[in-house]
Structure 1
Amino acid sequence: MTQLRFGLQARFLLVMALTLLLVGTILASLLQRQSAMQREVRGLSAQILHELFDRSLRTRGETLATELASGLANPVYYSDLSAVGALVRNALRQQVVSYVLVFDRHGRLVHDGTPTLQRYGQAMTDPLAAKALAAQKMVLQYSPEVLDVTVPIKIGDQRIGGVRVGMSRERVRKIESGANLTLVQNLNAIGKRDLGWLLVLLAALVGLGVLLAIYVQRTLVAPVRLLAAAAKQIERGDYAVQLPPHPRNDEIGELISAFGRMSESIARHDREVRHMAYTDALTGLTNRLGFREGLDHLLNTARSTGSKLALLFADIDDFKRVNDTLGHEAGDEALLQFASRISRAVAALGDDDAILARFGGDEFVILLQSGDVSLLAAQLAERLVHELSRPLKAQGREVFLGTSIGITLFPDDARDATALLKNGDIAMYQAKVAGKNCHRFYSRAADHAVERRVRMEHELRGAWERDELLLVYQPIYRTSDRVLVGVEVLLRWQHPTLGTIAPSTFIDIAEQSGLIEVIGPKVLRAACLEAAQWPLVGEGLFVSVNVSPRQLRSGDLIDTVAECLAESGLPAARLHLELTETAVIGDEMMAARLLDQLHRTGVKVWLDDFGTGFSGLSHLRQVPVDGVKIDKSFIADLQRDPDDLALTTAIINMAHSLGITVVAEGIEQEAQFNLLRERGCDLGQGYWFSRPLSPADMVKLIAAG
């Protein structure tokens, strides 16, 4: 059965029908509005006529009563009833006058308008009489039947009586009704005449619509159908449209001629747009959109064939440092070199079907689909970690970076693209947690661990404002005489439900999430304010505050330190900043510039956890520091491990040769203290001296001397 098609002609006819319907509706609305307006006019006219007749009746009543009062003054004064009667009868001849009552100053009727004076001498008892008797001037009173006009009759200023004229409202209403009827008849005649014109107009519009439909059928529908067929051909991807020659020189003819040229242009632009849409502009690799589209297709194929896929999610470690310190152009250079190295590593794998894409700013993804994908993914990840750990050249400078890689498998770990990418991201995050520059396979346990870590990161936001983050102070003593000379500020997190959270856990989260850039300055400010309030002992205890690599690279450390010192009033010489070796390794020139600026403010800089970064003592010549803190891992086995003792001794001697103070961390036994003192270690801290103290306990310790 042939399916009926709602074509252009049918649509046009429908539009015409709807247009006529709309016009008819508008005309009907106009008629309805006209009828409503006629009703409004009738109502308004009736109201105006009513007010006009009422005003006319009142005016006539006032005039007549005034004239009667003036004419009746002498007849009433002289009791000339014949004269009074003549005036009253003359007034009653008017159709709208219902009655005329003349009364004396005592309220008794002098004349009631009847020939026999039936009520002569009687008092007036009607409802309007009371106000009429008391009237000192004209009084108007209304009842449903009459308008009563009372005017006092006076001789000079003396009131000798009054006259009441009753103007008939019923007679006026009859006249008013007649006028309204005439008005309605005239309005109805106008309405019928307008209706006739509207019907003629509607008939003309219908005829015009029919003629227009015939014209459109002959001149527009056929060529448009031809163009529609050509458009469908282009829609199918066939841009070689062949349109027959035509004799038309109008816009339709131009459109038909342009279709052929357009198909060629569309084909060319389609190729260009697809390339732009699916290719990363910087590296030339497939971008996120292209990779997702290809991944969805490959997953469908893998489901039908039962094959496996491996996805590697690689993220450049500390890439933000390159952008922040060297600029975005240097970052782009580094990305290009990373992309080149990854491409070479994938090519060396021998998997021609592997797909490499730049997924985001510093994220790359690789999809393996041939062979033992799990084994190949591990081998490729190891190769990438090795290749990408070699230094790069950016803006003429060597940059040391690395990569953290997460690996997830289909269908073992996920059944769709979204879950697969999510699992790859989670595995990559686990690689970063494991120390960066390594790879990790996705596991459900890791998934839960990441969820816990994300939840803890969420809890950490706002922890300072909720007073969950607390400062404690670990005393630092001079080893020669065990005199208290300073403190190291330590941060503790007292969670309301999880209890005390280890600093090694939440500091790492703060560092990786960037929260350390918010928390760090607050810790520095609070420590300076607290230390400035301590009792002054000698030159005053110094306070040592840890500074993270992110704070060092943020660019505003100098300003932050200056603001904290200015606000607290703490002398710059009493503030020590502790940096880890990893914060300065890899870009000693930048670190040296920052530390030199800090020195000019009077603040001292110590290198924390010295010896753990495997940087060598040579870095001490390049980076201007005032002191080094020997890591507690060397102090713990000082008595049992000759190598640790020798290394510690060498650090002390080399530091002293450079004029650098040495602090030993983690002293927990007297024997450790004695060995360090014998070898000339300047300062020490650890549980053997004192555990970290609260601010109140710290004040007590200082006061005790």
Structure 2
Amino acid sequence: MNLRFGLQAKFMLLMGIALLVVLALVALLFNRQERMRMEVEGVSRQTMRTMMGESLRRQGEGAVAQLAATLTNPMYYSDLDAIGVLSRATLRNRDVRYVVVYDDAGQVLHDGSEAIANYGKRMDDAMAGKVIASRALLTQCDEKVMDVSAPIMIGQQRIGGVRIGYDLSAMRGYQDQAVGQLRGRLDALSQRYVIWIGLLGAGMLAFGALSLWLIQRLLVRPIRELAESARAIEAGRFDTATPIDNRNDEVGDLMLAFDRMSRSLARHDREIRRMAYTDALTGLANRLAFRESLDQRLLQLHGAGCQLALLFADIDDFKRVNDTLGHDAGDDVLLQCARRIEHTVQRIGGDQAMLARFGGDEFVILIQADHDPNADVRKIATHLAETLVTELGEPILVQDRQVFLGTSIGITLFPEDASGATSLMKNGDIAMYQAKVAGKNCFRFYSRAMDQAVERRVHLEHELRGAWDRGELSLAYQPVFRLVDGAMIGAEALLRWKHPELGVVAPSVFIDVAEQSGLIEVLGPQVLRQACADAVRWQESRKGEEPLFLAVNVSPRQLRNGDLPDVVEASLRETGLPADLLHLELTETAVIGDERHASSLLSQLRGMGVKVWLDDFGTGFSGLSHLRRVPVDGVKIDRSFVADVLRDPDDLALTTAIIAMAHSLGILVVAEGVEKEGQYAILRERGCDFAQGYWLGHPVTADEFMAVAC
């Protein structure tokens, strides 16, 4: 029997073949779709990881670089309070896991906590080795944290560093959430696509080809375009246009979501850049923006025969505004100063001038001479500095009060003084400091001699550390006499330094170094304790005679710390010196700098029985008007008035007025710097209570003084 292979069989065969082909094509298409979905998911995951990681890295490097620059002065002066404030401010960032400030040996100085449990401990985590060894910006990552560190430099010397740890788990959570959403959307699309292809593919092969074309057009191409946009964003081009379609389906939703994400990233990038390069208070460029602009200018100017000048302007006595009127008033003053500087720079500095605020009350100005060979950047800088000194010397109205400030300006020139940005900025800072030393409210150009002065000061500070333990520091005592009967009634303790190589270092030199570096906070209690012990020895040898009081100078920095009463109480308790024999001498400017705080501390001291005297009286801001509000027992007329009391009627009248007004308030008066018999006589005639000076007695050692006193 012959089987007939008819048209129906052929049709069925063709249909079967067509079905097999369609099924094969569908199977192949499904395989390709799955691979594409995995590829899209992988590309998206990698893109988001790279993009978020790079963004976090840039944010971290910018933040740590700015924090390292801000910590330079606090680290230099060992100001743990300021370091703590800056560390805690950074630690408040929700992405920051830890902040560690360390010294050059890798020992922890601050971690942003109140207790600083790891203070002084060497960092020993897995990343600490590279951090301690690094002399530049360093970024390290492990599975949990991104560690960004930067050294803190003074010139070419590293004095420590700071590291910030960013939590990567949050970033991975955002990434997993986004990838999960993407996977869910792709899965939904895949399910719908399977049903649609299955129904249509069973009918005809041609529609399968059409379906492939539709898939290519409606799905693969948009995803490929999105991937290309993602790669552009990954490369940092956040303003790249993303494909947008008006399709009302999941792919359209994905494209719209990707477009919103791209716009959000671009907006955040602009905001981060604005925050990273702009001072929040004044709206001026900040240190980072200024440094990048300076580097770019120097690259352009090398070999071009053009000149640059940097002007470092620091507002004089600005802290007094914060202490007396509050920080809100201080911000208002800074804004007004910034506007005055900005208007002056625009008027004199030219189109290429740049103004930045480096933080606090410090502003930096860059001015550039053009290609005109007759242009002299030194003349322009001089004119600008003179104008700024005049403008900022005008009164500032804040809280219905006039505030009088000034500015100290340091100027350095390129290429005359240096060819690199770091050296120029260091030179400008040095010149500004010299303007401060010269009396403030003036300007100074940088010179090579200034470098030597700074090096000498740094060397002196280094040598002063440990000088007390090495026995180089000692106390001398200058007697104080009562003018009525000429009896010696006490002595003032004076610190002296005899260095084995430098010889005798003037107190006016090393006391200023100790004050600026913070060493006075260590030396002060040591001096007080030793002086009290010496005074006890005098009293024991003068049994039956009138006891001699001890006068000890107190630094303004000790007064600001707030622990002076505790230090005094401990010294009296350890040595056994009666409190009424101890006289503490504070400068007038230190007391009126923060009158409320000073009054509280002085009241505590007087409650213990300790006497309080104002030293260098008459040289401060206000004079006798503050005696009614600040509890003191006596004043010391400054030696500058006593020196001219015989030949200057004004000084004589002022000295007489101080004595009379102080007595009217029940306050004793001592004159210092008495070097002539005539001075002694006229002070006695005008009713001055006590006197001291070379005519009466030179400062002597403790043993020599005890021999004289007994």
TM-score class normalised by the smaller sequence: 0.5 to 0.7
Letter in 1 for 2:285: T
Q: Which residue of 2 aligns with 1:699?
A: 706
Q: Which residue of 1 aligns with 2:505?
A: 501
- Separation (CA, whole Å) in 2 of partners of 1:379 and 1:518: 44
Measured after TM superposition, the shift of residue 324 of structure 1 is 6.8
Matches within 5 A, 1:46-445: 229-231=228-230, 235=235, 237=237, 239-241=239-241, 243=243, 259-303=258-302, 305-319=304-318, 332-349=331-348, 351-370=350-369, 372-389=376-393, 402-445=406-449
Q: Which residue of 1 aligns with 2:208?
A: none
- Separation (CA, whole Å) in 1 of partners of 2:511 and 2:706: 26
Quickly say closer, same or farther: Cα 1:262–1:614, change in 2 above 3 A. Answer: closer
Q: Cα deviation per residue 1:523-577 (whole Å; 9 max; x = unaligned)? A: 2222222212322544411111112222222222233223322332222221112
* Pair 1:566 & 2:570 matched: no
Q: Secondary structure at the match of 2:577?
A: coil
**Do the aligned residues in 2 keep the contact of 1:572 with 1:603 (CA within 8 Å)?**
yes
Letter in 2 for 1:450: V
**Do the aligned residues in 2 keep the contact of 1:666 with 1:685 (CA within 8 Å)?**
yes
Quickly say closer, same or farther: Cα 1:277–1:616, change in 2 above 3 A. Answer: closer
Q: Which residue of 1 aligns with 2:474?
A: 470
- Separation (CA, whole Å) in 2 of partners of 1:395 and 1:566: 46
Letter in 2 for 1:290: A
**Do the aligned residues in 1 keep the contact of 2:226 with 2:242 (CA within 8 Å)?**
no
- Separation (CA, whole Å) in 2 of partners of 1:539 and 1:338: 57
Give the root-mean-square deviation of aligned CA atoms: 3.7
- Separation (CA, whole Å) in 2 of partners of 1:522 and 1:317: 32
Letter in 1 for 2:470: R
- Separation (CA, whole Å) in 2 of partners of 1:661 and 1:518: 31
Q: Which residue of 1 aligns with 2:492?
A: 488
Letter in 1 for 2:703: A
Q: Which residue of 1 aligns with 2:690?
A: 683
Letter in 2 for 1:271: R
For residue 671 of structure 2, the aligned residue among 650, 664, 686 is 664
* Pair 1:595 & 2:598 matched: no
Gaps of 5+ in 1: 1-7, 13-217
- Separation (CA, whole Å) in 2 of partners of 1:657 and 1:435: 34
Q: Secondary structure at the match of 2:302?
A: helix
Measured after TM superposition, the shift of residue 430 of structure 1 is 1.3
Q: Which residue of 2 aligns with 1:654?
A: 661
Gaps of 5+ in 2: 1-34, 40-214, 370-374
Q: Secondary structure at the match of 2:687?
A: coil
Bigger radius of gyration: 1
Measured after TM superposition, the shift of residue 279 of structure 1 is 0.9
**Do the aligned residues in 2 keep the contact of 1:535 with 1:699 (CA within 8 Å)?**
no
- TM norm structure 1: 0.62
Measured after TM superposition, the shift of residue 472 of structure 1 is 0.8
- Separation (CA, whole Å) in 1 of partners of 2:417 and 2:224: 53
Measured after TM superposition, the shift of residue 231 of structure 1 is 4.8
| Identity fraction in percent | 65
Q: Cα deviation per residue 1:227-279 (whole Å; 9 max; x = unaligned)? A: 5644565548484546598999999x987675544443343333222212211
- Separation (CA, whole Å) in 1 of partners of 2:387 and 2:489: 50
Higher mean alpha-carbon deviation, 377-386 vs 689-698, is at: 377-386
Letter in 1 for 2:338: A
Q: Cα deviation per residue 1:462-493 (whole Å; 9 max; x = unaligned)? A: 22222222111000011222111010110101
- Separation (CA, whole Å) in 2 of partners of 1:586 and 1:539: 36
- Separation (CA, whole Å) in 1 of partners of 2:390 and 2:432: 16
- TM norm structure 2: 0.61
Measured after TM superposition, the shift of residue 655 of structure 1 is 2.8
Q: Secondary structure at the match of 2:539?
A: coil
- Separation (CA, whole Å) in 1 of partners of 2:247 and 2:671: 98
- Separation (CA, whole Å) in 2 of partners of 1:396 and 1:525: 46
Question: What number of residue pairs does the alignment pair up?
Answer: 491
- Separation (CA, whole Å) in 2 of partners of 1:299 and 1:582: 43
